[in-house]
Amino acid sequence: MKTTKYDISVIIPIFNEEDSLELLVNRLIPVLKLLGSHEIIFVNDGSSDKSESILDAFGQECPNIIKVIHLRTNCGKSIALRCGFREASGELIVMMDADLQDNHEEIPKLVNYLRQNKLDMVTGWKFNRYDPASKRLPSRLFNYVVCRFSGLKIHDFNCGLKVMHHECLKDLRLYGQLHRFLVVLIARQGFKVGECKVEHSPRKYGHSKYGAKRIYEGLMDFLTIFFLTRYQQSPLYFFGFYGLLCFLFSFLYGAFFVGLHFFSLFTHYPQGHLSQHPLWLLSPVIFLAGIIFIFFGLIGELIYYIFSIQLNQNYIQRQVGFGQKSEKE
């Protein structure tokens, strides 16, 4: 486990942001000096412009402050953040974007809000957002849906500016595009999260890296988070529900046609015979689907049981009255 060396670690994923990097560093360092010892970790996510050489120059100029991680290819923001989190050694972790839309002057506000309200994580809320409607409207829908299903009273889950304690990242596993649900994942671990209004600026350089496929990816990621946060430790509860639902529907559906068949035998009603209603075959098919759901759930339980031994997650917040064990013990 790493020893904390800094008060603040700032993680900034980079993908083709050559025009904004110099201004970013010049504005960020004076702000961080007010907060104590600090480090800035840039994660170059496979940029194809001059970002790599610019970042290397910064690292050579300020080796004690600026650190650079170069990824071999474009892996996505979640992987970039995970690499930065792994190397960070600050007591507080700040994550932000490099497009200059997040105002650096807001970092002390978030840090103070975190400490005053005794939170483990605080995310920014872009109250006045300077983005086109094509981004604002899907974002509002996304935030509304996640708010309803997560139970967290957060207005802007996907704000790039966040501050959190280093401990929040210990058992965090980011992949795909799950960085959008970072607040939900951290809150799920029992940490206290909140939000604070921050200023937002229009983009001056470059262009947004997210296209129309972001809506589809967001929906798939939401389904992933919904499953992981509610059924990670009990996958059989999820699959078992639909399995039992299939069993019930199969029984009622099949019982209707079987009953109709026997009714036709005793009343000489030929239209009720099973041969006249091939749709009754859906009953065993649905029953088979129920068996498959149950098996999926059992396999999920088996996988979680095996890997839970390796995860060794720590759920203890603090202990009282546990002294040091003696050498005899």
Residues 195 and 169 reside in one and the same domain: yes
Region of 156 on the Ramachandran plot (φ > 0 left; ψ -120 to 50 alpha; else beta): beta
304 in a domain, yes or no? yes
Residues 186 and 141 reside in one and the same domain: yes
- At 308 the pLDDT is 61
Which of 197, 231, 265 terminates a domain? The answer is 231
60 in helix, strand or coil? Answer: helix
Residues 217 and 285 reside in one and the same domain: no
Residues 71 and 220 reside in one and the same domain: yes
Question: Residue 229 in contact with residue 153, Cβ under 8 Å?
Answer: no
Instruction: Quote the distance between the C-alpha of residue 86 and its chain's center.
Output: 16
Picking from 264, 300, 297, the residue whose alpha carbon sits closest to that of residue 280 is 264
Average pLDDT of the chain to the nearest whole number: 83
End-to-end alpha carbon distance in the chain: 25
Q: Which amino acid is at 191?
A: F
Kindly state the percentage of the chain with pLDDT values over 90: 33
Question: Residue 43 in contact with residue 13, Cβ under 8 Å?
Answer: yes
Instruction: Quote the distance between the C-alpha of residue 267 and its chain's center.
Output: 62
Write the DSSP string, 167-225: GGGTT----TTGGGGHHHHHHHTT--EEEEEE-B----SS--S--THHHHHHHHHHHHH
pLDDT tens for 172-226 read 888 878 888 899 989 988 899 999 999 887 777 666 656 566 667 777 777 777 7
Tokens of 99: 């497009």
- Who wins on pLDDT, 313 or 54? 54
Question: Residue 134 in contact with residue 201, Cβ under 8 Å?
Answer: no
326 in a domain, yes or no? no
Tokens of 115: 């400490």
Residues 117 and 206 reside in one and the same domain: yes
Residues 135 and 270 reside in one and the same domain: no
329 in a domain, yes or no? no
Residues 43 and 148 reside in one and the same domain: yes
200 in a domain, yes or no? yes
DSSP 325: P
C-alpha 38/C-alpha 32 separation (Å) is 7
26 in a domain, yes or no? yes
Range of the domain at 163: 6-231
1 in a domain, yes or no? no
Residues 275 and 224 reside in one and the same domain: no
Which of 231, 264, 289 terminates a domain? The answer is 231
Write the DSSP string, 118-142: T-SEEEEEESS--S-HHHHHHHHHH
Look at the chain and report how many structural domains it folds into. 2
Strand partners, 14: 44
320 in a domain, yes or no? no
pLDDT tens for 31-75 read 999 998 999 999 999 888 899 999 999 988 888 889 999 998 888
- At 4 the pLDDT is 55
C-alpha 193/C-alpha 281 separation (Å) is 52
pTM: 0.74
68 in a domain, yes or no? yes
Residues 246 and 120 reside in one and the same domain: no
Res. 98: pLDDT tops 80 = yes
Question: Residue 122 in contact with residue 136, Cβ under 8 Å?
Answer: no
Q: How many CB atoms lie within 10 A of CB 105?
A: 13
Res. 117: pLDDT tops 80 = yes
Residues 147 and 280 reside in one and the same domain: no
- At 1 the pLDDT is 46
Residues 151 and 286 reside in one and the same domain: no
